[in-house]
Chain A
Amino acid sequence: MSSNIMKKVTRGLFFLLMISIGGVALAAYDLNFPPPVTDNAKIMDDQNMFSIWVCVVIAIVVYGAMIYSIIFHRKSKGAVPADFHESTALEIAWTVVPFLILIAFGVSATKGLLKIYDHSGSELEVRVIGSQFKWEYQYLGKDGKVAYSFISQIKQSHKDASAAGGTKYKEIKNYLLDVDKPLRIPVGIKVKYTITSNPGDVIHSWWVPRLGIKQDANPGYDNTASALIPKEYAGQSFRGKCAELCGVDHAYMPVVVKAVAKAEFDTWLKTASTKYIANRKALANAESWSDDKLMSEGKKLYEIHCFACHKKDGSGTPPTFPALKGSAMANGKAGAHIQIIIKGKASMPPFAQLNDAEIAAIATYERKSWGNTGSIIKPSEVTKARK
Chain B
Amino acid sequence: MSEAVAHDAHHHDHPTGIKRWLFTTNHKDIGTLYLWFAFIMFMVGGTFAMGIRAELFQPGMQIMKPQFFNMLTTLHGLIMVFGAIMPAFVGLANWLIPMMVGAPDMALPRMNNWSFWILPFAAILLVAPMFMGGDFSAGTGPNFGWTFYAPLSTKYPYLGYFVFAVHLLGISSIMGSINIIATILNMRAPGMTLMKMPLFVWTWLITAYLLLAVMPVLAGAVTMLLTDGYFGTTFFQAPGGGDARLFQHVFWFFGHPEVYIMILPAFGIVSQIIPTFARKKLFGYSSMVYATASIAFLSFIVWAHHMFTVGMPMAGILFFTYATLLIAVPTGVKVFNWVATMWRGAMTFETPMLFSIGFVVMFTFGGFTGLMLSISTADFQYHDSYFVVAHFHYVLVPGSLFSIFAAVYYWLPKWTGNMYSETLGKWHFWLSTIAVNLTFFPQHFVGLASMQRRVGDYPPQYAEFNMMSSIGAFMFGLTQLLFLYIVIKTIKGGKKATDEVWENAEGLEWTIPSPAPYHTFETPPQIK
In the complex, which residues of chain B have a beta carbon less than 8 angstroms from the beta carbon of A98? 328-329, 332
Beta-carbon contact of A166 and B60 below 8 Å:
yes
B70 at the interface (CB under 8 A from A): yes
Partner of B342, one of A69, A91, A166: A69
Beta-carbon contact of B310 and A218 below 8 Å:
yes
Within 8 A of B (CB), among A308-355: 318-320, 346-347, 350, 352
In the complex, which residues of chain B have a beta carbon less than 8 angstroms from the beta carbon of A240? 450
A278 at the interface (CB under 8 A from B): no
Partner of A13, one of B281, B314, B340, B434: B434
Of the candidate stretches A48-56, A266-274, A292-300, A369-377, the one touching chain B is A48-56
Taking A69-B345, A113-B318, A251-B66 as contacts, is the C-beta distance between A221 and B155 under 8 angstroms?
no
Taking A79-B344, A95-B329, A319-B133 as contacts, is the C-beta distance between A164 and B60 under 8 angstroms?
yes
Taking A73-B343, A75-B346, A99-B329 as contacts, is the C-beta distance between A200 and B238 under 8 angstroms?
yes
Beta-carbon contact of B377 and A113 below 8 Å:
yes
Beta-carbon contact of A219 and B238 below 8 Å:
yes
In the complex, which residues of chain B have a beta carbon less than 8 angstroms from the beta carbon of A242? 452
Closest to B369 in A: A55
Closest to A102 in B: B325
Beta-carbon contact of A79 and B239 below 8 Å:
no
Beta-carbon contact of B342 and A70 below 8 Å:
yes
Beta-carbon contact of A74 and B384 below 8 Å:
no
A129 at the interface (CB under 8 A from B): no
Partner of A249, one of B66, B285, B442, B445: B66
In the complex, which residues of chain A have a beta carbon less than 8 angstroms from the beta carbon of B343? 65, 69, 73, 82
Beta-carbon contact of B371 and A216 below 8 Å:
no
Q: Report the interface size for chain A: residues with CB under 8 A from the other chain.
A: 112
Closest to B444 in A: A31
A209 at the interface (CB under 8 A from B): yes
Beta-carbon contact of A66 and B311 below 8 Å:
no
In the complex, which residues of chain B have a beta carbon less than 8 angstroms from the beta carbon of A105? 325, 371, 374-375
A246 at the interface (CB under 8 A from B): yes
Beta-carbon contact of B238 and A55 below 8 Å:
no
Within 8 A of B (CB), among A1-50: 2-3, 6, 10, 13-14, 17, 20-21, 24, 29-34, 43-44, 47-48
Beta-carbon contact of B329 and A319 below 8 Å:
no
How distant is the Cα of A136 from the Cα of B161 in the complex, in angstroms?
A: 35
In the complex, which residues of chain B have a beta carbon less than 8 angstroms from the beta carbon of A212? 380-381
Within the complex, the shortest CB–CB distance from B362 to chain A, in Å, comes to 11
Q: Contact string, B456-468, partner A, CB cutoff 8 A, digits 1/0?
A: 1111111011001
Q: Contact string, A59-74, partner B, CB cutoff 8 A, digits 1/0?
A: 1001101100110011
Beta-carbon contact of A55 and B281 below 8 Å:
no
In the complex, which residues of chain A have a beta carbon less than 8 angstroms from the beta carbon of B336? 62, 90, 94
Partner of B245, one of A164, A218, A318: A218
How distant is the Cα of A102 from the Cα of B331 in the complex, in angstroms?
A: 13
Beta-carbon contact of A251 and B457 below 8 Å:
yes
Taking A29-B465, A47-B378, A176-B458 as contacts, is the C-beta distance between A73 and B346 under 8 angstroms?
yes
Taking A102-B328, A320-B138 as contacts, is the C-beta distance between A346 and B155 under 8 angstroms?
yes
Within 8 A of A (CB), among B247-293: 278-287
Beta-carbon contact of B155 and A170 below 8 Å:
no
A385 at the interface (CB under 8 A from B): no
Within the complex, the shortest CB–CB distance from A109 to chain B, in Å, comes to 5
Taking A51-B375, A106-B325, A346-B157 as contacts, is the C-beta distance between A214 and B445 under 8 angstroms?
no
Within the complex, the shortest CB–CB distance from B473 to chain A, in Å, comes to 15
Beta-carbon contact of B342 and A62 below 8 Å:
no
B192 at the interface (CB under 8 A from A): no
Closest to A86 in B: B284
In the complex, which residues of chain A have a beta carbon less than 8 angstroms from the beta carbon of B459? 174-177
Beta-carbon contact of B375 and A220 below 8 Å:
no
A161 at the interface (CB under 8 A from B): yes
Of the candidate stretches B42-50, B144-152, B401-409, B518-526, the one touching chain A is B144-152
Beta-carbon contact of A350 and B239 below 8 Å:
yes
Within 8 A of A (CB), among B331-388: 332-333, 335-336, 339-349, 357, 360-361, 364-365, 368-369, 371-372, 374-378, 380-381, 383-385
In the complex, which residues of chain A have a beta carbon less than 8 angstroms from the beta carbon of B144? 245, 247
How distant is the Cα of A63 from the Cα of B430 in the complex, in angstroms?
A: 18
How distant is the Cα of A95 from the Cα of B329 in the complex, in angstroms?
A: 6
In the complex, which residues of chain A have a beta carbon less than 8 angstroms from the beta carbon of B487? none
How distant is the Cα of A66 from the Cα of B326 in the complex, in angstroms?
A: 24
A364 at the interface (CB under 8 A from B): no
Beta-carbon contact of B347 and A70 below 8 Å:
yes
Within 8 A of B (CB), among A126-167: 161-167
Beta-carbon contact of B345 and A81 below 8 Å:
yes
Closest to B335 in A: A62
Beta-carbon contact of A116 and B380 below 8 Å:
yes
Beta-carbon contact of A106 and B59 below 8 Å:
no
A226 at the interface (CB under 8 A from B): no
Beta-carbon contact of B61 and A163 below 8 Å:
yes
Beta-carbon contact of A169 and B60 below 8 Å:
yes
Partner of A214, one of B283, B364, B381: B381
Beta-carbon contact of B345 and A95 below 8 Å:
no
In the complex, which residues of chain A have a beta carbon less than 8 angstroms from the beta carbon of B427? 6
Within 8 A of B (CB), among A173-220: 174-177, 199-203, 205, 207, 209, 212-216, 218-220
Within the complex, the shortest CB–CB distance from B428 to chain A, in Å, comes to 12
Within the complex, the shortest CB–CB distance from B11 to chain A, in Å, comes to 43
In the complex, which residues of chain A have a beta carbon less than 8 angstroms from the beta carbon of B450? 33-34, 207, 209, 240-241
Beta-carbon contact of A44 and B464 below 8 Å:
no
How distant is the Cα of A86 from the Cα of B343 in the complex, in angstroms?
A: 12
Within 8 A of B (CB), among A81-130: 81-87, 90-91, 94-95, 98-99, 102, 105-106, 108-110, 112-114, 116-117
A selection of 15 A-B contacts at a CB cut-off of 8 Å is A29-B464, A33-B448, A51-B371, A86-B285, A168-B60, A169-B60, A176-B59, A202-B155, A203-B149, A207-B384, A214-B383, A216-B309, A245-B144, A247-B152, A319-B140
Instruction: Kindly list 5 other residue pairs between chains A and B, CB separation below 8 angstroms, not including A17-B437, A245-B145, A320-B67.
Output: A6-B426, A110-B321, A116-B380, A216-B309, A245-B152
The 8 closest A-B pairs by CB, nearest first: A220-B238, A30-B449, A112-B377, A251-B455, A85-B281, A82-B344, A223-B311, A47-B378
